[in-house]
Every structure is written in C-alpha cells, then in structure tokens.
Amino acid sequence: MTSVKKSRLTLIGVALAFVLPVIGAKFVLDQSWYQGGATNKGTMVQPAVTLDETTNAQLPDGWRVVLIADDACGAPCEQGFYAINQLDVALGKESHRVKPIVLSRAELSFDFSQTPLVETIVAPAIVEQLDSIPAYRLFIVDPLGTAVLHYPTHADEPTMRAEAKNLLSDLRTLLKLSRIG
C-alpha cells in the first residue's frame, strides 16, 4: 500500500472514531432508548407556579413546605401536618432554613396542638395563586416563591411516613445545592 493511501485510511479512521459515537448517541436519543435519570422523588410542579412578590412577602422567609388544607381533607391532612412538623427534628442544623406552613381559605377546625411548629396562615389570595397544584399535596416553595416539587398525602401512617422521607430527601438536596434562603 502506498503512503498516500495509508495516510488517507488513517485520516478516515480517526474521523470515524469521532463521528460514529455522535451519530450513535443521536440515534439512541431519537429512538427513545435512553431514559434520563432523575434524582428527585417528588413530582415537579408543571407548569411552574411562582408567587408574585407581594404574596411571597406574606409568607415566612426561607424555604417553605406547604400544605393547602380545608376542613374536608380529614386524615390525609392530619398525617401531612404531622409529617411537616417533624421536619424540624429531621433536618437538624438546617431546620432554621425551612418553615412548615398550612395555608387555607378559612379558619381550620383541626387540632394543631400536636404540631406546634406548623404555622397556619389564612390567605385566600395565596391559595388562589397555588390552585394549579393538586389538592391536599405537600409541596416545597423556594425562597423566591416558586413551587418546586409536590408530594401526595396519605391517610395511612406508614405510607405517609415513606412519603415524608421522600420529601426530606429532596429537601436536603435542595438545601445543599441552594445558595439562597
């Protein structure tokens, strides 16, 4: 083989070594053979819900774990109250960055004596802005007022405890990566 043919084959070989993986990756993505990994355990709020500045100012500063409740909620809300009340203990040194909140349109008839850390706020305007989030869900609101992830509430205590662990895991990740709040 002549040196010209040898150098052309080498050039083609090098070009293919760089082009074939790109073509292969494009093909795999187009055929939906690759499922991207997700580390969050909650459900992303889609479409994104962001509170306006005046509404966000009505809530306590920092990260908020919120439950919108009414008197019709019953046992799932009570389990949700208890779960967000336990965040203070579970977060340890980061607990000052997170505030558990229950929002409602009117005064609630629930007994909050077992959940002293949960702040109840009656604010119909805030509830209206967050109405696209499914009913009776725990959700995380960042310090800028954007609802990030939501989690279902359950009447069954072991199931709710597992869901609270998911919320805690995601919240720890957000607090670790956050430079705000």
**pLDDT value at position 167?**
95
Mean pLDDT of 166-178: 93
Q: What is the 3-state secondary structure (H, E, C) of the chain?
A: CCHHHHHHHHHHHHHHHHHHHHHHHHHHHHCCCCCCCCCCCCEEEEEEEECCHHHHHHCCCCEEEEEECCCCCCHHHHHHHHHHHCHHHHHHHHHHHEEEEEEECCCCCCCCCCCCCCEEEECHHHHHHCCCCCCCEEEEECCCCEEEEEEECCCCHHHHHHHHHHHHHHHHHHHHHCCCC
Give me the mean pLDDT over the 35-63 stretch.
89
The whole-model pTM stands at 0.78
Q: What confidence score (pLDDT) does residue 110 get? A: 87
Task: For residues 105-121, give the mean pLDDT.
Answer: 90
Q: By percentage, how much of the chain surpasses pLDDT 70?
A: 99
pLDDT at 39: 81
Predicted pLDDT at 80 = 94
Domain chopping of the chain, boundaries:
1-36, 43-177
Instruction: Check if the beta carbon of residue 168 is closer than 8 Å to that of residue 100.
Output: no
Give the pLDDT score at 2.
85
Q: What is the pLDDT of residues 72-100, one digit of tens each?
A: 888 999 999 999 999 888 999 999 999 99
- The answer, yes or no, to whether residue 3 has pLDDT greater than 90, is no
CA 103 to CA 70: how far, in whole Å?
Answer: 9
Question: What pLDDT score was predicted for residue 71?
Answer: 86
The CATH code of domain 43-177 reads: 3.40.30.10
Mean pLDDT of the region 146-164: 94
Q: Mean of the pLDDT values across residues 159-166?
A: 95
Q: What is the model's pLDDT at position 33?
A: 85
Cβ atoms of 118 and 102 closer than 8 Å: yes
Answer yes or no: is pLDDT of 37 > 80: no
Question: What type of residue is 93?
Answer: K
Output the pLDDT for position 120: 93
What mean pLDDT comes out for the span 20-41? 85
pLDDT of residue 179: 83
pLDDT at 36: 75
Q: Mean pLDDT score of the chain, rounded to an integer? A: 91
For residue 88, which amino acid is it?
Answer: D
